[in-house]
Amino acid sequence: MVPEIDQSRIPKHVAIVMDGNGRWAKRRGLKRTEGHAAGEDALFDAVEGGLEIGLQWMTVYAFSTENWRRPLDEVRFLMRFNESLLLRRRDDLNERGVRVRFIGRRSGRVPRRVVRHIEDTEALTAQNRRMTLTFAFNYGGRAELVDATRAIAAEVAAGKLKPDKIDERTIARHLYAHDMPDPDLVVRTSGEFRISNYLLWESAYSEFVFTDVLWPDFRRENLFAAIREFQHRERRFGEIQEGE
Ligand code: IPE
Ligand code: IPE
Ligand code: MG
Protein backbone atom coordinates (compact mmCIF):
# COMPACT_ATOMS: atom_id res chain seq x y z
CA MET A 1 0.00 0.00 0.00
CA VAL A 2 1.27 3.39 -0.95
CA PRO A 3 0.04 6.05 1.47
CA GLU A 4 -2.39 8.67 0.22
CA ILE A 5 -2.72 7.28 -3.27
CA ASP A 6 -6.29 6.36 -4.10
CA GLN A 7 -5.81 2.84 -5.41
CA SER A 8 -9.17 2.95 -7.13
CA ARG A 9 -8.13 5.91 -9.28
CA ILE A 10 -4.68 5.05 -10.54
CA PRO A 11 -4.19 6.66 -13.97
CA LYS A 12 -4.13 4.07 -16.70
CA HIS A 13 -1.25 5.70 -18.55
CA VAL A 14 1.47 8.02 -17.27
CA ALA A 15 3.87 9.60 -19.78
CA ILE A 16 7.09 11.19 -18.60
CA VAL A 17 9.48 13.73 -20.14
CA MET A 18 12.75 12.73 -18.50
CA ASP A 19 14.45 16.12 -18.56
CA GLY A 20 17.32 17.80 -16.73
CA ASN A 21 20.15 15.27 -17.06
CA GLY A 22 22.58 17.83 -18.43
CA ARG A 23 21.90 20.35 -15.66
CA TRP A 24 22.16 17.65 -13.01
CA ALA A 25 25.62 16.74 -14.30
CA LYS A 26 26.75 20.34 -14.71
CA ARG A 27 25.89 21.13 -11.09
CA ARG A 28 28.21 18.35 -10.03
CA GLY A 29 31.02 19.34 -12.37
CA LEU A 30 30.40 16.24 -14.48
CA LYS A 31 29.95 15.78 -18.20
CA ARG A 32 26.41 15.98 -19.59
CA THR A 33 26.60 12.32 -20.59
CA GLU A 34 27.14 11.34 -16.95
CA GLY A 35 23.77 12.91 -16.27
CA HIS A 36 22.18 10.63 -18.84
CA ALA A 37 23.86 7.62 -17.23
CA ALA A 38 22.57 8.70 -13.81
CA GLY A 39 19.06 8.86 -15.24
CA GLU A 40 18.95 5.08 -15.51
CA ASP A 41 18.39 4.56 -11.76
CA ALA A 42 15.63 7.16 -11.85
CA LEU A 43 13.88 5.35 -14.68
CA PHE A 44 13.99 1.94 -13.08
CA ASP A 45 12.92 3.23 -9.69
CA ALA A 46 9.94 4.90 -11.36
CA VAL A 47 9.13 1.65 -13.19
CA GLU A 48 9.32 -0.25 -9.86
CA GLY A 49 7.00 2.30 -8.33
CA GLY A 50 4.62 1.98 -11.24
CA LEU A 51 4.54 -1.81 -10.83
CA GLU A 52 3.96 -1.39 -7.09
CA ILE A 53 0.77 0.62 -7.63
CA GLY A 54 -0.48 -1.36 -10.63
CA LEU A 55 0.19 1.24 -13.30
CA GLN A 56 -0.52 -0.41 -16.64
CA TRP A 57 1.02 1.95 -19.16
CA MET A 58 4.13 4.06 -18.77
CA THR A 59 5.76 5.96 -21.62
CA VAL A 60 9.11 7.73 -21.34
CA TYR A 61 10.71 10.25 -23.68
CA ALA A 62 14.22 8.95 -24.32
CA PHE A 63 15.27 10.71 -27.53
CA SER A 64 13.41 13.24 -29.63
CA THR A 65 13.60 13.86 -33.37
CA GLU A 66 15.14 17.23 -32.41
CA ASN A 67 17.84 15.71 -30.20
CA TRP A 68 19.89 14.92 -33.34
CA ARG A 69 20.80 18.62 -33.26
CA ARG A 70 23.01 18.02 -30.22
CA PRO A 71 26.78 17.60 -30.51
CA LEU A 72 27.73 14.37 -32.27
CA ASP A 73 29.46 13.00 -29.14
CA GLU A 74 26.33 13.35 -27.07
CA VAL A 75 24.13 11.85 -29.80
CA ARG A 76 26.51 8.90 -30.11
CA PHE A 77 26.53 8.43 -26.38
CA LEU A 78 22.73 8.44 -26.23
CA MET A 79 22.43 5.84 -29.00
CA ARG A 80 24.90 3.50 -27.30
CA PHE A 81 23.54 4.15 -23.86
CA ASN A 82 19.95 3.38 -24.82
CA GLU A 83 21.12 0.24 -26.59
CA SER A 84 23.14 -1.00 -23.62
CA LEU A 85 20.34 -0.15 -21.18
CA LEU A 86 18.00 -2.28 -23.24
CA LEU A 87 20.40 -5.22 -23.37
CA ARG A 88 21.18 -5.04 -19.64
CA ARG A 89 17.61 -4.62 -18.45
CA ARG A 90 15.41 -6.53 -20.82
CA ASP A 91 15.56 -9.92 -19.08
CA ASP A 92 14.75 -8.33 -15.75
CA LEU A 93 11.84 -6.36 -17.25
CA ASN A 94 10.64 -9.52 -18.95
CA GLU A 95 10.69 -11.46 -15.66
CA ARG A 96 8.65 -8.72 -14.04
CA GLY A 97 5.95 -9.00 -16.66
CA VAL A 98 6.76 -5.77 -18.46
CA ARG A 99 6.04 -5.48 -22.16
CA VAL A 100 8.66 -3.19 -23.68
CA ARG A 101 7.77 -1.21 -26.77
CA PHE A 102 9.14 1.66 -28.80
CA ILE A 103 7.44 4.52 -30.59
CA GLY A 104 9.32 6.74 -33.02
CA ARG A 105 10.99 6.49 -36.40
CA ARG A 106 13.15 3.43 -36.80
CA SER A 107 14.62 4.47 -40.10
CA GLY A 108 16.99 7.28 -40.88
CA ARG A 109 19.82 7.84 -38.47
CA VAL A 110 19.08 5.20 -35.86
CA PRO A 111 21.84 2.58 -36.25
CA ARG A 112 20.59 -0.66 -37.78
CA ARG A 113 21.94 -2.64 -34.82
CA VAL A 114 19.91 -0.57 -32.36
CA VAL A 115 16.76 -1.18 -34.41
CA ARG A 116 17.47 -4.91 -34.26
CA HIS A 117 17.79 -4.81 -30.45
CA ILE A 118 14.54 -2.85 -30.27
CA GLU A 119 12.74 -5.46 -32.36
CA ASP A 120 14.22 -8.35 -30.38
CA THR A 121 13.20 -6.79 -27.07
CA GLU A 122 9.67 -6.14 -28.29
CA ALA A 123 9.41 -9.76 -29.44
CA LEU A 124 10.85 -11.09 -26.17
CA THR A 125 8.35 -9.20 -24.03
CA ALA A 126 5.36 -9.15 -26.36
CA GLN A 127 3.23 -11.52 -24.27
CA ASN A 128 3.65 -9.60 -21.00
CA ARG A 129 0.67 -7.65 -19.70
CA ARG A 130 1.52 -6.42 -16.20
CA MET A 131 2.79 -3.11 -17.56
CA THR A 132 3.60 -1.73 -20.98
CA LEU A 133 6.73 0.41 -20.84
CA THR A 134 7.05 2.41 -24.05
CA PHE A 135 10.21 4.23 -24.99
CA ALA A 136 9.67 7.27 -27.19
CA PHE A 137 12.91 7.03 -29.14
CA ASN A 138 13.68 9.10 -32.22
CA TYR A 139 10.15 10.22 -31.50
CA GLY A 140 8.46 13.47 -32.47
CA GLY A 141 4.75 14.17 -32.22
CA ARG A 142 4.80 16.00 -35.54
CA ALA A 143 6.78 13.24 -37.25
CA GLU A 144 4.20 10.76 -35.91
CA LEU A 145 1.38 12.78 -37.49
CA VAL A 146 3.33 13.06 -40.75
CA ASP A 147 3.85 9.29 -40.80
CA ALA A 148 0.16 8.69 -40.04
CA THR A 149 -0.82 11.10 -42.81
CA ARG A 150 1.42 9.33 -45.32
CA ALA A 151 -0.08 5.95 -44.44
CA ILE A 152 -3.61 7.31 -44.72
CA ALA A 153 -2.82 9.02 -48.04
CA ALA A 154 -1.46 5.72 -49.37
CA GLU A 155 -4.74 3.99 -48.46
CA VAL A 156 -6.70 6.72 -50.19
CA ALA A 157 -4.49 6.46 -53.30
CA ALA A 158 -4.99 2.68 -53.36
CA GLY A 159 -8.75 3.20 -53.28
CA LYS A 160 -9.06 1.53 -49.86
CA LEU A 161 -10.30 4.60 -48.04
CA LYS A 162 -12.53 7.52 -49.02
CA PRO A 163 -11.34 10.95 -47.85
CA ASP A 164 -14.69 11.75 -46.25
CA LYS A 165 -14.42 8.59 -44.16
CA ILE A 166 -11.29 9.89 -42.43
CA ASP A 167 -12.10 10.75 -38.82
CA GLU A 168 -10.26 10.97 -35.50
CA ARG A 169 -10.30 7.21 -35.12
CA THR A 170 -8.62 6.83 -38.54
CA ILE A 171 -5.77 9.03 -37.37
CA ALA A 172 -5.51 7.33 -33.98
CA ARG A 173 -5.33 3.95 -35.72
CA HIS A 174 -2.33 5.09 -37.75
CA LEU A 175 -0.22 6.33 -34.85
CA TYR A 176 2.88 4.33 -33.85
CA ALA A 177 1.06 2.44 -31.08
CA HIS A 178 -2.57 2.28 -32.13
CA ASP A 179 -3.62 0.26 -29.07
CA MET A 180 -2.00 2.61 -26.54
CA PRO A 181 -4.52 4.54 -24.44
CA ASP A 182 -4.01 8.32 -24.34
CA PRO A 183 -1.92 9.39 -21.35
CA ASP A 184 -4.05 10.51 -18.41
CA LEU A 185 -1.07 12.23 -16.89
CA VAL A 186 2.07 13.76 -18.42
CA VAL A 187 4.91 14.52 -16.00
CA ARG A 188 7.86 16.73 -16.94
CA THR A 189 10.88 17.13 -14.72
CA SER A 190 13.50 19.90 -14.51
CA GLY A 191 11.19 22.90 -14.23
CA GLU A 192 10.53 23.38 -17.94
CA PHE A 193 6.94 24.12 -18.90
CA ARG A 194 6.75 22.81 -22.43
CA ILE A 195 5.74 19.76 -24.36
CA SER A 196 8.79 19.57 -26.70
CA ASN A 197 6.95 17.65 -29.42
CA TYR A 198 5.85 14.82 -27.09
CA LEU A 199 2.62 12.89 -27.75
CA LEU A 200 0.93 15.86 -29.39
CA TRP A 201 -2.18 14.00 -30.55
CA GLU A 202 -2.39 11.70 -27.55
CA SER A 203 -2.10 14.38 -24.84
CA ALA A 204 -5.10 16.42 -26.04
CA TYR A 205 -6.86 15.91 -22.69
CA SER A 206 -3.99 14.85 -20.45
CA GLU A 207 -3.36 16.41 -17.07
CA PHE A 208 0.11 17.94 -16.76
CA VAL A 209 2.32 17.91 -13.69
CA PHE A 210 5.58 19.84 -13.77
CA THR A 211 8.25 19.35 -11.14
CA ASP A 212 11.58 21.08 -10.53
CA VAL A 213 13.28 17.78 -9.73
CA LEU A 214 16.01 16.98 -12.26
CA TRP A 215 15.49 13.59 -13.87
CA PRO A 216 18.48 11.76 -12.26
CA ASP A 217 17.04 12.68 -8.82
CA PHE A 218 13.57 11.41 -9.65
CA ARG A 219 12.35 8.42 -7.61
CA ARG A 220 9.09 6.51 -7.22
CA GLU A 221 8.01 8.93 -4.47
CA ASN A 222 8.06 11.72 -7.07
CA LEU A 223 5.88 9.60 -9.32
CA PHE A 224 3.48 8.98 -6.44
CA ALA A 225 3.39 12.72 -5.67
CA ALA A 226 2.51 13.48 -9.30
CA ILE A 227 -0.25 10.86 -9.20
CA ARG A 228 -1.64 12.35 -5.97
CA GLU A 229 -1.74 15.73 -7.67
CA PHE A 230 -3.47 14.13 -10.66
CA GLN A 231 -6.06 12.62 -8.32
CA HIS A 232 -6.99 16.07 -7.06
CA ARG A 233 -7.65 17.40 -10.55
CA GLU A 234 -11.09 17.64 -12.02
CA ARG A 235 -11.08 16.33 -15.56
CA ARG A 236 -13.85 17.75 -17.70
CA PHE A 237 -13.22 16.79 -21.32
CA GLY A 238 -15.14 19.86 -22.40
CA GLU A 239 -18.24 19.02 -20.38
CA ILE A 240 -19.62 20.48 -17.19
CA GLN A 241 -20.95 18.61 -14.20
CA GLU A 242 -24.67 18.49 -13.51
CA GLY A 243 -25.71 21.52 -11.44
CA GLU A 244 -22.83 23.82 -12.44
C1 IPE B 1 17.02 14.95 -20.95
O2 IPE B 1 18.03 15.67 -20.34
C3 IPE B 1 17.55 13.79 -21.74
C4 IPE B 1 17.48 13.95 -23.20
C5 IPE B 1 16.96 14.95 -23.82
C6 IPE B 1 18.03 12.87 -23.99
P7 IPE B 1 18.76 16.87 -21.09
O8 IPE B 1 19.97 16.31 -21.75
O9 IPE B 1 17.82 17.59 -21.96
O10 IPE B 1 19.20 17.77 -19.86
P11 IPE B 1 19.12 19.35 -19.77
O12 IPE B 1 17.70 19.74 -20.10
O13 IPE B 1 20.10 19.88 -20.76
O14 IPE B 1 19.48 19.66 -18.36
C1 IPE C 1 12.73 16.57 -24.43
O2 IPE C 1 13.73 17.20 -23.73
C3 IPE C 1 13.25 15.29 -25.02
C4 IPE C 1 13.61 14.24 -24.07
C5 IPE C 1 13.46 14.28 -22.78
C6 IPE C 1 14.13 13.04 -24.65
P7 IPE C 1 14.67 18.32 -24.41
O8 IPE C 1 15.64 18.73 -23.37
O9 IPE C 1 15.22 17.79 -25.68
O10 IPE C 1 13.64 19.47 -24.75
P11 IPE C 1 13.91 21.02 -24.96
O12 IPE C 1 14.97 21.12 -26.00
O13 IPE C 1 14.35 21.57 -23.65
O14 IPE C 1 12.59 21.59 -25.38
MG1 MG D 1 16.54 19.09 -21.66
CATH of the domain at 227: 3.40.1180.10
| Overall domain count for the chain | 1
Residue type present at position 25: A
Task: Report the atom number in ligand 2 closest to the C-alpha of 19.
Answer: 5
In a domain, 182, yes or no: yes
In a domain, 238, yes or no: no
Percentage with pLDDT > 90 across the chain: 96
In a domain, 143, yes or no: yes
In a domain, 242, yes or no: no
Residue pLDDT, tens place only, 71-130: 999 999 999 999 999 999 999 999 999 999 999 999 889 999 999 999 999 999 999 999
In a domain, 2, yes or no: no
What is the pLDDT of the chain when averaged over all its residues? 97
Of the candidates 45, 67, 147, 217, the residue annotated as catalytic is: 67
In a domain, 239, yes or no: no
Label the pairing between strands 57-64 and 98-103.
unpaired
Neighbours of ion ligand 3 (CB under 5 A): 19
How far apart are the CA of 64 and the centre of ligand 2, in A?
7
3-class state of residue 62 by DSSP: strand
**CB 230 within 8 Å of CB 205:** no
What domain range includes position 123?
10-231
Residue 242 has a pLDDT of: 77
For ligand 1, is residue 49 a contact (CB within 6 Å)? no
**CB 103 within 8 Å of CB 134:** yes
How far apart are the CA of 63 and the centre of ligand 2, in A?
8
In a domain, 76, yes or no: yes
Confidence of residue 54 (pLDDT cuts 50, 70, 90): very high
Q: How many beta carbons lie within 10 A of that of residue 165, not counting itself? A: 9
Residue pLDDT, tens place only, 196-226: 999 999 999 999 999 999 999 999 999 999 9
Nearest residue to 215 (alpha-carbon basis) of 189, 196, 187, 191: 189
| 222 among known catalytic residues | no
3-class state of residue 123 by DSSP: helix
| 19 among known catalytic residues | yes
In a domain, 93, yes or no: yes
Distances in Å between the Cα of 122 and the Cα atoms of 46, 59, 94, 99, 240 are 20, 14, 10, 7, 41
Task: Report the atom number in ligand 2 closest to the C-alpha of 63.
Answer: 6
Confidence of residue 44 (pLDDT cuts 50, 70, 90): very high
